[in-house]
C-alpha cells in the first residue's frame, strides 16, 4: 500500500451516518481524508426526540468529530459550511473562503425539513433534525410548564402540542410526550393538572408508520390512543399560525407548539452546486453511487437518490452506502471497475413509549411490545459513536425506563420569555 501522504485525497462533506461510515472505511483503505461539517460533532439523530423530552442530555447523542478524526489515521476534520463545488478545478468551496482540493468527493449532506409549501409551517413550527432544534423544543416545553405551574391558578390555561407527521419520528415524539405528561410532569410540576396538556398527532394518510405491516400500524395506533394521544388520521394541515393550526376540512385548533415531522428534503442550496437534483431535492446517482455525469463524485445516505431503485432515508442505508462508496473509490484507484450497490434491509423499528415498540424485518419477523422495545434499545446503543456516549445513554435510558417510576426529566435552560396562548409560545 502507498504511504498515506501519497494516496489520493478524498473530501467527505457531511458527518452524519453516511459521512462517518465513508470516512472510517476510506481510512482503512489508506486514503487521505478531509471530513467537512458545519458542526464540530456527529449527532445521533434517532435519539434527538429523547433530548427534546428531557430523557437524554445533548452530549449523550453527540460525538466530537476532531476526536473521531484523531482515531482514524489519515483523516482530518474541518469545520465549515460548504457553499459549492468548482468542478473544473476539483475544489470544494467553503463559507470561510477556503477552497479544499479533492481527487474524489463524497457528498453526505443529509436532509432538511420539507414544509411542502404550507403557509406558516416554516415560521411557526419546530423540527428535530439537529441538536440545536431538539434543545429548542425541550426548552419550549419545559419553559411553558414553568409558566403554567407559576400561575396563581395553574388550571387557567392549557398547553397543546401538535405533532405533524405519522412516520417513526412523529409516532416516537407523540408517544414520548404522552409519557412525559402522564409520569414526569405530575412529579416535577405538582401544581400542574396533566389534563391541561394535550398531545395531538396529525397524519394525512389513513394509517401511521407507512413502511410497517398493517398489524403493527394498528397496534401503534391503539397504543398511542391508550396513552392519551389525540390521533387524527386522514387529516391534512392547510396553514399554521402562531397560535393555531388550520386543517383542510375547515377545522382549526389552538396550539402552543407544533413539531414538524411530516417530511424531509435535500437542501435547496444543492441546486447551485452543478449536480443533478431529482425528486425530494436529492442528488441523482448511478447504481455505483456516482453522481450522474460525474466520474469522481459520489452521493450517499439520505441525500442520494438511485434513479432506478430509491432507498429509504434511514440510518442503515446511509451506513451501507458510506462503506460502499469508499470501497468503490478504492476500486477506481486500483483501476478496477465499480460495482452495483445492493441494499441489505435489516428491518425497521419505532418506539411508542416505556416497554413498547414495533419491529419488522424483511424475513417476516414482526415484534411488538417489550421484546421489540428491548431490541430498539440494544440497536441504538450499538450504533452510537463513542464508549462514553453508549454507557451514558444506557444509564440514562435505564434510569428513565427501568428504575422505579419517578421524575427523570433533564430540564436544562428555560426560555426567558415564552408566550402561552392568550399568546402562543413564540417560536420565531
Catalytic residues: 172
Tally of CB atoms within 10 A around 249? 10
In the block, which residue shows the cell 458545519? 38
Beta bridge partners of 94: 82
Q: CB burial class (10 A; 0-12, 13-18, 19+) of residue 404?
A: exposed
Angstrom distance (rounded) from CA 412 to CA 213: 38
C-alpha pair distances (Å), 169 with each of 76, 141, 427: 32, 17, 20
C-beta of residue 171 within 8 angstroms of C-beta of residue 350: yes
C-beta of residue 219 within 8 angstroms of C-beta of residue 212: no
Angstrom distance (rounded) from CA 400 to CA 407: 8
All three cell numbers of 26? 476510506
Q: Which residues contact 6 (CB under 8 A, 6 or more apart)?
A: none
b/e map 231-246, b = 16+ CB within 10 Å: bbeebbbeebbbbbbb
Instruction: Give me the long-range contacts of 271-278 (CB less than 8 A, separation at least 24).
Output: 272/84, 273/84, 273/85, 274/84, 274/85, 274/87, 275/85, 275/107, 275/299, 278/305, 278/307
C-beta of residue 399 within 8 angstroms of C-beta of residue 407: no
Backbone angles phi, psi at 358, to 5 degrees: -125, 145
Amino acid at each position: 500500500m502507498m504511504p498515506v501522504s501519497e494516496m489520493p485525497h478524498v473530501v467527505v462533506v457531511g458527518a452524519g451516518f453516511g459521512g462517518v461510515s465513508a470516512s472510517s472505511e476510506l481510512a482503512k483503505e489508506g486514503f487521505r481524508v478531509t471530513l467537512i461539517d458545519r458542526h464540530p460533532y456527529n449527532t445521533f439523530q434517532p435519539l434527538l426526540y429523547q433530548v427534546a423530552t428531557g430523557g437524554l442530555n445533548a452530549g449523550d447523542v453527540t460525538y466530537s468529530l476532531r476526536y473521531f478524526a484523531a482515531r482514524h489515521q489519515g483523516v482530518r476534520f474541518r469545520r465549515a459550511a460548504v457553499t459549492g463545488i468548482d468542478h473544473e478545478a476539483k475544489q470544494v468551496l467553503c463559507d470561510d473562503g477556503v477552497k479544499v482540493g479533492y481527487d474524489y468527493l463524497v457528498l453526505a449532506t443529509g436532509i432538511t425539513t420539507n414544509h411542502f409549501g404550507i403557509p406558516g409551517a416554516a415560521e411557526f413550527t419546530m423540527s428535530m433534525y439537529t441538536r440545536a432544534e431538539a434543545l429548542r423544543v425541550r426548552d419550549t416545553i419545559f419553559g411553558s410548564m414553568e409558566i403554567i405551574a407559576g400561575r396563581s391558578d395553574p388550571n387557567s390555561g392549557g398547553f397543546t402540542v401538535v405533532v405533524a407527521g405519522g412516520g417513526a419520528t412523529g409516532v416516537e415524539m407523540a408517544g414520548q410526550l404522552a409519557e412525559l405528561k402522564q409520569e414526569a410532569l405530575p412529579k416535577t410540576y405538582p401544581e400542574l393538572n396533566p389534563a391541561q396538556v394535550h398531545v395531538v398527532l396529525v397524519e394525512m394518510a389513513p394509517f401511521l408508520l407507512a413502511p410497517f405491516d398493517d398489524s403493527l400500524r394498528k397496534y401503534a395506533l391503539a397504543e398511542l390512543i391508550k396513552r392519551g394521544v389525540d390521533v387524527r388520521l386522514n387529516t391534512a394541515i392547510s396553514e399554521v399560525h402562531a397560535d393555531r393550526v388550520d386543517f383542510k376540512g375547515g377545522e382549526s385548533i389552538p396550539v402552543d407548539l407544533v413539531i414538524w415531522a411530516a417530511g424531509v428534503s435535500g437542501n435547496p442550496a444543492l441546486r447551485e452546486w452543478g449536480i443533478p437534483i431529482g425528486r425530494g431535492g436529492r442528488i441523482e446517482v448511478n447504481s455505483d453511487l456516482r453522481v450522474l455525469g460525474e466520474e469522481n463524485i459520489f452521493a450517499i445516505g439520505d441525500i442520494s437518490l438511485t434513479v432506478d431503485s430509491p432507498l429509504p432515508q434511514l440510518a442503515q442505508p446511509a451506513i451501507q452506502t458510506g462503506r460502499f462508496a469508499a470501497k468503490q473509490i478504492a476500486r477506481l484507484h486500483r483501476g478496477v471497475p465499480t460495482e452495483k450497490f445492493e441494499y441489505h434491509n435489516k428491518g425497521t423499528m419505532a418506539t411508542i413509549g416505556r416497554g413498547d415498540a414495533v419491529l419488522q424485518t424483511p424475513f417476516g419477523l414482526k415484534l411488538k411490545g417489550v421484546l421489540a422495545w428491548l431490541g430498539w434499545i440494544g440497536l441504538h446503543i450499538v450504533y452510537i459513536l463513542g464508549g462514553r456516549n453508549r454507557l451514558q445513554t444506557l444509564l440514562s435510558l435505564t434510569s428513565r425506563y427501568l428504575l422505579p417510576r419517578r421524575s427523570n426529566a433533564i430540564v436544562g435552560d428555560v426560555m426567558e420569555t415564552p408566550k402561552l396562548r392568550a399568546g402562543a409560545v413564540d417560536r420565531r
